[in-house]
Amino acid sequence: MQMSGNTILVTGGGTGIGRGLAEALHQSGNRVLVAGRRREPLQAVAQAHPGVDYLTLDQADAADIQRVAARITEHYPDLNVVVNNAAIQRVEDLTGADTSAAEETVATNLLGPIRLTAALLPVLIRQPHAAILNITSALAFMPSALTPTYCATKAALHSYTQSLRFQLRNTSVQVIELIPPQVQTALQGERGFDPKAMPLDEYIAETITLLRTQPQADEIVVDRAKRFRFAEREGRYDAIYQVFNEAMTARLRRGGD
């Protein structure tokens, strides 16, 4: 991926990792468009960084994706990078009958990026250099039983990303997977600011450095994510899984959530 001179869409760009990436990419000499459900955080990013544009987008709504894709196609015909970052995470009790949280999570985290990618791919393929960056999670490779559907959607997005990369191998579109560890953001509510999680600015800095130094990489895995990402490959999955999930459950109980 070239790191400057792009026109970039970042979903979920009003807060957290999305905002961090949007700001860093803007500062690197790119035209950046941020999208998300809530107008106020998007406006804050645009006001803080003149030149950044924004659009509201409900990624769980197929019709809204088509609306935004049509507008982007018309007003940003040189779009050549899409960062599929928007996601939600819910704690779920799988012994209950309510599946609304799971359905919302699948619509947002999995169907959303699939639909948006399909809608914008004709624009991307026309560009001489283009890239799709899908943000998955270390939890795609070491699931947390507390957030089962979130982990399942990230594992599915990992699989989808591999297939997309193969199908686009003879085009100008590079497909890159970013695999964050737990990062200090509001994704998990107050739990998201756990001091043991990776500070957001450190995650963004390491990720941008890896993108610069590994322009042909299929995956961008910061050091903190490697333990989970490669656990199964290294034969350590079973040893880590039980301990990790017991610790997560105990932490949730202590937090009273």
Which residues constitute the domain of residue 92? Answer: 7-255
pLDDT on residue 193: 62
Q: CA nearest 247: which of 117, 144, 153, 173?
A: 144
Q: What's the domain count of the chain?
A: 1
Query: 54 an active-site residue?
Result: no
Residue 19 lies in a domain: yes
Confidence tier at 256 by pLDDT (50, 70, 90)? very low
Predicted confidence (pLDDT) per residue in 129-164, tens digit? 999 999 999 999 999 999 999 999 999 999 999 999
CA distance 235 to 121: 37
Residue 1 lies in a domain: no
Confidence tier at 196 by pLDDT (50, 70, 90)? confident
Does the pLDDT value for residue 253 go beyond 80?
no
CA distance 18 to 180: 12
Cα distances (Å, whole numbers) of residue 188 to 51, 98, 254: 30, 20, 15
Predicted confidence (pLDDT) per residue in 8-59, tens digit? 999 999 999 999 999 999 999 999 999 999 999 999 999 999 999 999 999 9
CB atoms within 10 A of CB 113: 28
Residue 21 lies in a domain: yes
CATH number assigned to the domain comprising residue 111: 3.40.50.720
Whether the Cβ atoms of residue 225 and residue 177 lie closer than 8 Å to each other: no
Task: Give the pTM.
Answer: 0.94
Does the pLDDT value for residue 187 go beyond 50?
yes
Residue 52 lies in a domain: yes
Percent of the chain past pLDDT 70, that is, above it, reads 95
Residue 171 lies in a domain: yes
Residue 165 lies in a domain: yes
Choose, from 150, 160, 203, 241, the residue flagged as catalytic. Answer: 150
Cα distances (Å, whole numbers) of residue 174 to 129, 143, 225: 8, 27, 22
Strand-by-strand arrangement of the 53-56 sheet: 53-56, 31-36, 7-11, 81-84, 130-135, 173-179, 219-221
